[in-house]
Structure 1
Amino acid sequence: MTVGLVVVSHSRKIAEGAVELAAQMAPDVKFYAVGGTADGRIGTDLEKTIAAFESGLTEASGDGLVVLADLGSAVMTAESATEFCTEPDKVLLADAPLVEGLVAAAVATQGGALAAAVKAAAESVRFGPETAFDAAGSPPSQGKGEPAESGEFELINPMGMHARPAAKIAGGLAGLDVEATVNGVDGTSVMELMSLAVGQGGKLKVEARGKDSSKAVDYVRRLVEQGFGEI
């Protein structure tokens, strides 16, 4: 892998839990969890964060590190750590929701994306389900004319749509120049895709608009045909 992923949280358990979840979708990616103070309290620690950055730059990163943080002071700690580390130009801070952003970044990294694309994948994830609807309360696929490309695919993996398939779809689509929906929900949102609760034998309808429409539909088709690597 050419990119390392760092999580900076006020809580050690949150940082480690987010990494544990993302690692299920991206087993080859190097993660670094930084959480809590040196004495085990809730908070952030500049020295621990710098140490994580240096470890990532040494062990995992040919292209750079992408960093996700949970709250404001964690962001400030990450920014300060960037200034003090040996290669600040290789550290990219992503403005993204911690869990969904990390999962999207992990899937993009697993797929071989470089740091800028990994950061973009994390930042493409929506901050809340309400953003998947327009001002009139309609899903994004409505009121925008016919999609440039579309496809409907039957799920063959035994568990259907759960966290890992949702993360693979969202992470891949987030790295493309496309607006894509799956069964009417935002194709870059792990949580919205999971909420579809489509089981084995059910179908995913992909509609895509934008430059990479064909790539987006083909990407989902290949994932479905391969059973998301679960069969």
Structure 2
Amino acid sequence: MSVGLVVVSHSPKIAEGVRDLAAQMAADVRIVPAGGTDEGGIGTSFSVVMAAVESAQSGDGVVVLTDLGSAVMTADSVLEFLDDDARALVRVPDAPLVEGAVAAAVAAQGGADLDRVTADAVAAGGPGSPSTGAASGGADAGADRAGAADETATGSFTLVNAVGLHARPAAMLAQALGALDAQTEVNGVDGASVTMLMTLAAGQGSTLTVRSSGPDAERAIQTVGDLVGRGFDED
């Protein structure tokens, strides 16, 4: 089981394309496209979004990603229709559609809870993004991944794979670090965020400087070293 995702777009093709892209990073996550009207035209549909939310729900919650303003309104209408218990398990964050879906999918694949998946989707919007607490239907979230910084470890590693830290390696690294009880930074950005890792644009030969704190700090450093050393299994 994992947090499910719904991709709401005015265009069925965009919704399906974002689903397909995010699924490349998260094969085990239920990602449901909700694009277009009931007839398959351009627009949004209450019934299409409602069916997608119900389909994506496994009991761990659902994060709904939207494209334009009326898509948000449709998603919010679905929230209002749900009973209190069901509404508590759905989030409609203010997050970018593509980057947010990829970041949320990676977090969900790594076993993150609903609030963490939501927070990662929001963070994909960049440093100026609103906090998770502002997301529709959500509770305050965004607590540090590792509250106890009782251990600190560092390491430096040189990328050997031909294309560097592109989408797939970034997703592998984010998933692996997200599963550990540690707060890990790679070249100054959150190592558990696939979008933040991709902003580094680190190519072959680039050095990754890693700093980790928390109970699993040493494991985090070892994990980065192992993945980099294996070339992210791309050879």
State the TM-score bracket (shorter-chain normalisation). Answer: 0.7 to 0.9
Distance 1:217 1:130, change over 3 A: farther
- Between the aligned partners of 1:219 and 1:15, the Cα distance in structure 2 is 34
Q: Deviations over 1:50-88 (max 9, x none)?
A: 11111122xxx1211111111221111111112224622
Equivalent in the alignment of 2:195: 190
Does the C-alpha gap of structure 1 residues 29 and 224 become closer, same or farther in structure 2, counting only changes over 3 Å?
A: same
In structure 2, relative to structure 1, the CA distance for the partners of 1:12 and 1:191 (3 Å cut) is farther
Amino acid of the structure 1 residue aligned with 2:16 = E
Q: TM-score, normalised on structure 1? A: 0.73
Cα distance change on mapping 1:30 and 1:189 into 2, 3 Å: closer
- Distance across 2 between alignment mates of 1:177 and 1:67: 27
Question: Are 1:162 and 1:194, in contact at CA under 8 Å, matched by a contact in 2?
Answer: no
The question of whether the paired residues in 2 share the 8 Å contact of 1:7 and 1:69 is answered with: yes
Structure 1 unaligned regions, length at least 5? 132-147
CA offsets per residue over residues 187-218 of structure 1, 9 Å max, x none? 5462762562412x54322356x768937655
2:171 corresponds to which residue? Answer: 167
In structure 2, relative to structure 1, the CA distance for the partners of 1:27 and 1:189 (3 Å cut) is: closer
* Percent of aligned pairs with the same amino acid: 50
CA shift, 1:115, in A, is 1.3
- Aligned pairs for 1:1-231 (under 5 A) are 1-57=1-57, 61-85=58-82, 87-125=86-124, 127-128=125-126, 149-170=153-174, 178=183, 180-182=185-187, 188=193, 190=195, 193=198, 196-199=201-204, 201-207=205-211, 214=217, 217=221, 220-230=224-234
Q: Cα gap change, 1:196/1:2 in structure 2, threshold over 3 Å: closer, same or farther?
A: closer
Aligned-pair distance for 1:3? Answer: 1.2
Q: Deviations over 1:209-231 (max 9, x none)?
A: x7689376555345424543545
Q: Does the 8 A contact of 2:160 with 2:228 survive in 1?
A: yes
What SS does the aligned partner of 2:4 have?
strand
Matched position secondary structure for 2:88: helix
Distance 1:30 1:37, change over 3 A: same
Q: Mark the CA change 1:35 to 1:98 in structure 2 (over 3 Å): closer, same or farther.
A: same
Alpha-carbon distance change, 129 to 195 in structure 1, aligned in 2, over 3 angstroms: farther
Q: Deviations over 1:128-171 (max 9, x none)?
A: 5899xxxxxxxxxxxxxxxx754211234444221112234456
Pairwise CA distance, 1:8: 0.8
Distance in 2, matches of 1:63 and 1:29, equals 11
Report how far residue 34 of structure 1 moved: 0.8
Instruction: Indicate if the aligned counterparts of 1:107 and 1:172 stay in contact, CA closer than 8 A.
Output: no
1:45 and 1:56, CA in 2 relative to 1: closer, same or farther beyond 3 A? Answer: same
Between the aligned partners of 1:77 and 1:177, the Cα distance in structure 2 is 38
C-alpha distance in 2 between matches for 1:81 and 1:32: 15
The answer for unaligned runs of 5 or more in structure 2 is 130-151
2:4·2:30 contact (CA, 8 Å) conserved in 1?
yes
SS class of match (1:43): coil
CA distance in 2, matches of 1:119, 1:160: 27
Cα distance in 1 for partners of 2:108, 2:94 equals 17
